[in-house]
């Protein structure tokens, strides 16, 4: 049981007995470093119902707790804050209770609970995944894992944008310039090969525009009349009409891309439970428009187009069906959400991991679904995130200067190898072991650097800085984990024996206090959809451990009970590092 839960009822009893007042809510916070105490009760909220001096009120409650609660040994009052000192025996008992539980902090889902569906990645099939997709995938995957750890059933999904003019551009360029190239014949990953033809289309399009402008056309006319764009538009019409040879090429090139994506996902360490394809979902939602018209939620204009007026909700008037009967993105997203609940009837909410440029779109989407009367629409969340930039500037895919996800992962592995080799910590490693370690460190550095930042903030990603072995970085935390594994290997006694200590060192107490916070951190991170809370908690935990490591002797301790306790404490801490990093999709090495 959490310390705040242990103290709540006795404090309520104290206030009732001392002041004849019943209170429900009590505000606790961590005691500030400059004061003695393990947990602080904030007195100020009581002043609304109890007349008097906050120091006197705090002192009376403190005395009551010392007299009536074994866990409380003393207290001090500073202004309106009651700083409570908790006994060593409480922390020893707490530690011994959680010691055997390798899944400490994790909650199992109840069979009858509603599930949450988390959507992430959702790429276009005309180019490889890039740095922006890396943040999207890492965020979506981690949030899914955190929600799962908080006690919910989770489905991971994505919707693949596999239709439209963009894929037709790659297909047309392959027909014109591809000379029957395949991933096998070129040795390129399929997504890279198709991406190259997307870039080739753009180059040819620009050339044709320049030629038309030279012939006296305006830029706007040239863009519309360039033969290659007209051919791409015709190809899209042929695809929508189901022309066999166009469909066959579309299927072939898309499969190349899917195979390439699968490799990237595997290297990145993310996975999915289901896939949705826009080619299957783009017609969904049209029947819902009819339902909305019948309910009076949508309205039809004289030209036959269908709209929803959201001005009273502070938004604008939004089209949901064009006058020619074709759907817009909004219609498709409405239909896809409904389809997902049909496919997974236990879904009670959804999280959409999509960049912040789509903030308005999701406000509208969620509001429409609520107005249509779906109960799960109350539990929709847009996991909005900022752009990732490198020191060299923004990324653009059409010019072929995109920061490719595969290249980035390779670069991170190489950077980790370079730094680890310079530090000279690799004696006795085989070449394979070195490669595996460099990948673990490099990817750990990348993931931690991205996930430690609040999702809503922009990131300036610096590869060199992320692989630093000191400071708030993945490698620093991984190194502490490896250091503890070294201690455990050297401990020549049974780690499951009970240690009979009755007092603990202040550094041990601080460490157990940090450990105690882990379950609450998982719940808060799930509630806020923020892996940053888990990442930064882990860094604080590791800092506290390193302070403990510097201050007390572990294996050199002569008292066997103290030595046993300190090794067990180290082991528990390493389990929490591993658990926390698993939620971030990061591996930990046993040696570094």
Digit-coded pLDDT (tens) for 34-43: 999 999 999 9
User: What pLDDT does 326 receive?
Assistant: 84
Give me the pLDDT at residue 208, please: 97
- Looking at residue 392, its pLDDT comes to 67
Each residue's pLDDT tens digit, 398-427: 444 568 899 999 999 999 998 888 877 777
- The three-point CA angle 473-476-482 to 5° equals 140
Confidence tier at 478 by pLDDT (50, 70, 90)? very high
Dihedral angle at the C-alpha atoms of 297, 299, 305, 309, nearest 10 degrees?
-70
Distance CA(261)–CA(499), nearest Å, equals 51
Residue 388 in contact with residue 131, Cβ under 8 Å? Answer: yes
pLDDT digits (tens, 9 = 90+) for 333-385: 999 999 999 999 999 999 999 999 999 999 999 999 999 999 999 999 999 99
* CATH for 405-583 (1.20.1260.10, 1.10.730.10, 3.40.50.300, 3.10.20.740): 1.10.730.10
Q: Where are the domains of the chain?
A: 3-86, 117-285+355-389, 405-583
Mean local confidence (pLDDT), 300-328:
94
pLDDT digit string, tens, across residues 281-295: 888 888 899 989 999
pLDDT value at position 235? 97
The alpha carbon of 199 is separated from its chain's Cα centroid by a whole number of angstroms, namely 31
Q: How far is CA 90 from CA 106, 354, 469, 502, 516, in A?
A: 22, 45, 35, 10, 12
Half-sphere exposure of 159 (CA within 13 A, CB side): 22
Q: What is the pLDDT of residue 398?
A: 44
Query: Structure tokens of 118?
Result: 């988390």
Is the per-residue pLDDT at 474 higher than 80?
A: yes
Q: What residues contact residue 254 under an 8 Å CB cut-off, 6+ apart?
A: 125, 162, 167
Q: Residues for the chain: how many in total?
A: 592
CATH class of 3-86: alpha beta
Q: What angle do CA 514, 520, 525 make, to 5 degrees?
A: 110
Question: Fold identical between 117-285+355-389 and 405-583?
Answer: no
Tell me the torsion sign for CA atoms 308, 311, 312, 315: positive
Specify whether the CB–CB gap between 447 and 493 falls below 8 A.
no
Instruction: Classify domain 117-285+355-389 at the CATH topology level.
Output: Rossmann fold (3.40.50)
Using the structure block, give the residue that is written with the tokens 């090794």: 567
Residue 211, pLDDT > 60, answer: yes
Residue 167 has pLDDT above 90, yes or no: yes
Q: Which residue has the tokens 């040994």?
A: 73
What pLDDT does 396 receive? 46
Asked if residue 144 lies in contact with residue 276, where contact means CB atoms within 8 angstroms, the answer is: no
- The answer to pTM > 0.85 is yes
Q: pLDDT at position 427, please? A: 78
CA distance 51 to 57: 9
Question: Which are the contacts of 442, defined by CB distance < 8 A and separation ≥ 6?
Answer: 409, 412, 413, 414, 415, 416, 417, 467
Judge whether 499 and 564 are in contact, CB under 8 Å: yes
């Amino acid at each position: 049981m959490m310390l705040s839960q242990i103290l709540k009822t006795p404090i309520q009893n104290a206030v009732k007995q001392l002041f004849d007042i019943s209170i429900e809510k009590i505000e606790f916070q961590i005691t500030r470093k400059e004061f003695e105490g393990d947990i602080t009760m904030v007195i100020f909220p009581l002043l609304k119902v109890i007349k008097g001096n906050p120091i006197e009120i705090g002192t009376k409650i403190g005395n009551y707790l010392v007299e009536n609660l074994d866990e409380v040994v003393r207290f001090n009052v500073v202004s309106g804050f009651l700083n409570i000192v908790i006994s060593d025996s409480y922390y020893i008992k707490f530690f011994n209770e959680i010691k055997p539980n390798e899944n400490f902090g994790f909650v199992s889902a109840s069979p009858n609970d509603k599930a949450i569906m988390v959507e992430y990645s959702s790429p276009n099939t005309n180019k490889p995944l890039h740095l922006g997709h890396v943040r999207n995938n890492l965020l979506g995957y981690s949030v899914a894992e955190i929600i799962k750890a908080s006690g919910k059933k989770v489905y991971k999904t994505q919707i693949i944008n596999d239709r439209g003019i963009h894929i037709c551009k790659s297909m047309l360029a392959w027909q014109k310039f591809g000379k029957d190239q395949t991933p096998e014949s070129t040795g390129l990953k399929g997504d890279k090969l198709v991406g190259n033809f997307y870039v080739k289309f753009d180059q040819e399009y620009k050339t044709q525009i320049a030629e038309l402008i030279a012939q006296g056309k305006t830029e706007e006319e040239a863009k519309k009349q360039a033969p290659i764009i007209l051919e791409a538009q015709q190809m899209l019409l042929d695809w929508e009409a189901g022309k066999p040879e166009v469909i066959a090429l579309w299927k072939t090139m898309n499969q190349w891309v899917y195979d390439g994506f699968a490799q990237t996902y595997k290297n990145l360490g993310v996975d999915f439970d289901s896939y949705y394809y826009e080619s299957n979902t783009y017609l969904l939602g049209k029947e819902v428009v009819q339902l909305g018209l019948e309910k009076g939620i949508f309205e039809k204009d004289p030209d036959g187009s269908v709209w929803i007026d959201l001005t009273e909700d502070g938004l604008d008037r939004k089209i949901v069906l064009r006058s020619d009967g074709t759907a817009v993105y909004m219609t498709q997203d409405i239909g896809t959400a409904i389809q997902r609940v049909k496919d997974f009837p236990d879904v009670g909410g959804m999280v959409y991991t999509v960049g912040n440029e789509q903030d308005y779109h999701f406000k509208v989407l969620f509001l429409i679904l609520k107005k249509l009367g779906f109960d799960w629409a109350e539990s929709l969340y847009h996991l909005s995130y900022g752009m990732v930039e490198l020191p060299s500037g923004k990324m653009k895919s059409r010019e072929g200067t995109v920061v490719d996800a595969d290249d980035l992962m390779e670069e991170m592995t190489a950077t980790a190898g370079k730094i680890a080799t310079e530090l000279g910590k690799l004696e006795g490693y085989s070449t394979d072991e070195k490669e595996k370690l460099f990948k673990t460190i490099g990817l750990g550095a990348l993931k931690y650097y991205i996930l430690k930042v609040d999702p809503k903030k922009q990131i300036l990603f610096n590869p060199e800085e992320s692989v630093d072995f000191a400071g708030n970085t993945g490698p620093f935390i991984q190194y502490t984990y490896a250091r503890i594994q070294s201690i455990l290997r050297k401990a020549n006694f049974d780690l499951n024996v009970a240690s009979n200590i009755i007092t603990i060192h202040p550094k041990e107490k601080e460490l157990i206090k940090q450990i105690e916070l882990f379950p609450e951190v998982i719940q808060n991170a799930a509630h806020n959809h923020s892996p940053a809370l888990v990442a930064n908690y882990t860094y604080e935990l590791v800092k506290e451990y390193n302070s403990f490591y510097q201050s007390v002797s572990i294996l050199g301790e002569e008292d066997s009970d103290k030595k046993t306790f300190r090794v067990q404490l180290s082991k528990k801490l390493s389990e929490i590092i591993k658990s926390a990093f698993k939620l971030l999709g990061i591996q930990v090495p046993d040696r570094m």
